[in-house]
Amino acid sequence: MKSALAAFKFLAVGGRFDEAESRYEASALAALFFPLVGLVVGLSLAIVNRALESHLESELLAVVLTATMLLITRAVHLDGTLQTFETLTYGPAFGESARPTHVQGWLVVLLVVLFKIRAIEVIGDTRTLSLLLTPVLARWSLVIFLYGAASVAEDSVATVARNVKGWHLLVTTTATLVFAVYLVGRTGLWVGLCVSLFALLMRSILRRFHGAYTYDNLGALIELSEALSLVLFASL
């Protein structure tokens, strides 16, 4: 139960843990529950969508649903996206003389929000199911990202990563993909595959340009994975 609550605090409602080491120890066992956090977020989005879809035009509804995503997480993951891409051009790969620039950080944030809004707007009859599944896939991608990443992560992230075991990855992957196929059939499997590959790609890119993985990087992965999932659901 403590691990489940830690997962919710870490990913859904509070962002960072308190500085107390006990918090980090609790979070270390929480990866197994990351997709469950996504399910709660997805259920909230699905309920909002069903409640408002007959009252709002699709354009306005898409804006409301995107805003709901941000409100649920208090925009901590979007802030992580901003911080990740603001610093992407002065990591170890660029040398000591490189300086941060804010342009690409805000550009990525803007693109993420716009892609989410547009994708939600054009998704057809599967919008409710896509909204339910997207946060699950995004949080599952964190388990893939963190597995085996402890040696190249900052302290708080490393504490979580050290305790992501092979069986955690197996259980979350099996449960997530079975759930995806149950909801939307083969499309769910293909979107899940793309999200998993994207998590591995992000891990490689951030290792190359950032050095140590940070909490902000996890937030960026969640936001980008959600945007990718929604775009794929809108396209397939």
Distance CA 112, CA 29 (A): 30
- Given a contact cutoff of 8 angstroms between Cβ atoms, the answer to whether 197 and 62 are in contact is no
Q: What is the mean pLDDT of the chain?
A: 85
Q: What is the pLDDT of residue 12?
A: 53
120-136: per-residue pLDDT in tens?
A: 999 988 999 999 999 99
Token code pair at residue 121: 């707007």
The answer to whether 34 touches 2, Cβ cutoff 8 Å, is no
Contact 183, 233 (CB under 8 A): no
Instruction: Flag residues of the chain having pLDDT under 70.
Output: 1-29, 89-102
The DSSP secondary-structure symbol of 20 reads S
SS3 211: coil
Q: In the chain, where are the structural domains located?
A: 2-235
The residues facing 213 across adjacent strands are 153
Instruction: Tell me if 45 sits within 8 A of 132, measured CB to CB.
Output: yes
pTM confidence score: 0.88
3-class DSSP state for residue 210? coil
Q: Across the strands, what pairs with 153?
A: 213
Give tens-digit pLDDT for 151-175.
888 877 887 888 888 988 999 999 9
